[in-house]
Amino acid sequence: MHTILEEFLDKWVWPTAPGAPGAAFRWRLTKERCLKGWEISLQRTVDEIEKELPRADEAWKKARALRGYSAEGVHMSIKQMSAQLLSVDLDGQARYIDLQRMRARQIWDECKHSKLHADVLIGKGWVTHERELMDNPLANIQPLPAYFGLSMMFPHIHPLARAAQNYCPKAIACLGIMAHLRLVDDPLVRHEYLSQRDEERMHYMEGKFQIDMYCTTPETQRPVEEALDYLLHQVAGIR
Amino acid sequence: MPTLKIDHDHCTECRMCYVVCRELDINAVYVALEPLHRIEIDARACTYPGCTACLMYCPAEGSIVEVESGRSMVPPPPEAWRRRGSALPV
């Protein structure tokens, strides 16, 4: 196992509130399913950085910032997160009021991530205003063709499906940030990742908390497992 | 009994600890009126070390500290979550 993944597990995954009712389920999901996806994704990121790093030119920094912007652009973040906010219907509001609060805040958080990528592009002089990114295809595409559509559909499945997305892909984001911070010296790139580190980890923690506290019955665990099936296939090619 | 406090040099005010503490109906984590509407921990209501839940979901390294020892509790040291004999996940 990669030492970055080991560190992440020991610090942020295994520690669990004693008596958390969904913890055994989360541990099982982690061991049986997430670990493999996290390992594949982390190795892919490390390989990419090690391949790009020796070139030490500005082009890959620009490409990375554009890719970050396209993954977390305002248009995508607002639409995806606000649609998922709707997954809690009125009958479920009393039970999931804190889940709604977390999700509502995440709308803003996700938009802020994209702003941080835009700051890098503006700071380097590659664009003069964020508006220019709206016309740049590289700032608006990503390699997960169905990600937007299917994750928009999560609210039609169950309010807790999003917990899988926060727990699994957000862990991948955290691991990617750790990999960049360990391997890259460039202050601009480090800023880009450091500025998002604690917030990505918070979103991961939201998923961890929601699974630990709410996913306590087959009925509340199934939507998380189903969402994980989709996400792990998309992110790591696991069927 | 040891107590916890927020280290505002590290806390990002994400309020995960606030959500967790309320979910468990302990309500020791609160937003202080002064000086900056920041998160604080009411040591009289907090049941640490009986409860360690806020430590498990805090994402900001070093932001919750044990007052008496001065040591950081985030990420949680093993004894904060293993001591009740909970089975190790691996």
Residue A156's pLDDT is: 60
Tokens read off for B1: 């009994």
Residue A96 Cα to chain centre, angstroms: 21
Q: Tell me how close the Cα of B88 comes to any Cα of chain A, in angstroms.
A: 8
Q: What's this model's pTM, rounded to 2 decimal places?
A: 0.89
Neighbour-count burial of A54, counting CB atoms closer than 10 A to its CB (0-12 exposed, 13-18 middle, 19+ buried): exposed
Q: Tell me how close the Cα of A119 comes to any Cα of chain B, in angstroms.
A: 20
Instruction: Tell me the mean pLDDT in the region B8-19.
Output: 95
Nearest-Cα residue of chain A relative to residue B23: A98
User: Closest partner residue to B12 among A198, A206, A209, by Cβ?
Assistant: A198
**Residue A217 DSSP symbol:** S
- Residue-range domains of chain A with CATH: 3-12+20-236 (1.20.910)
For residue B88, pLDDT over 70 is answered with: no
Q: Which residues pair with B66 in a beta bridge?
A: B4
Confidence grade of residue B90 (pLDDT, cut at 50, 70, 90): very low
**Cβ–Cβ of B76/A30 closer than 8 Å?**
no
Chosen for mutation from B57, B61, B72 (greatest number of chain A CBs closer than 10 Å) is: B57
Quote the ipTM score. 0.91
Residue A238's pLDDT is: 75
Residue B89's pLDDT is: 46
d(CA A44, CA A47): 5
Tokens read off for A98: 């804190």
Residues of B in Cβ contact (< 8 Å) with A12: 59, 75
**Cβ–Cβ of A15/B59 closer than 8 Å?**
no
Residues of chain A under the 70 pLDDT cut: 56, 73, 75-76, 142-156
Residue B83's pLDDT is: 58
Pairing mode of beta strands B39-41, B64-66: unpaired
Q: Tell me how close the Cα of A58 comes to any Cα of chain B, in angstroms.
A: 31
Q: pLDDT digit string (tens) for B44-59?
A: 999 999 999 999 999 9
Residue A4's pLDDT is: 98
Neighbour-count burial of A146, counting CB atoms closer than 10 A to its CB (0-12 exposed, 13-18 middle, 19+ buried): exposed
Residue A39's pLDDT is: 96
- Tell me how crowded residue A82 is: count the other CB atoms within 10 A of its CB: 15
**Cβ–Cβ of A205/B59 closer than 8 Å?**
yes
Residue A152's pLDDT is: 56
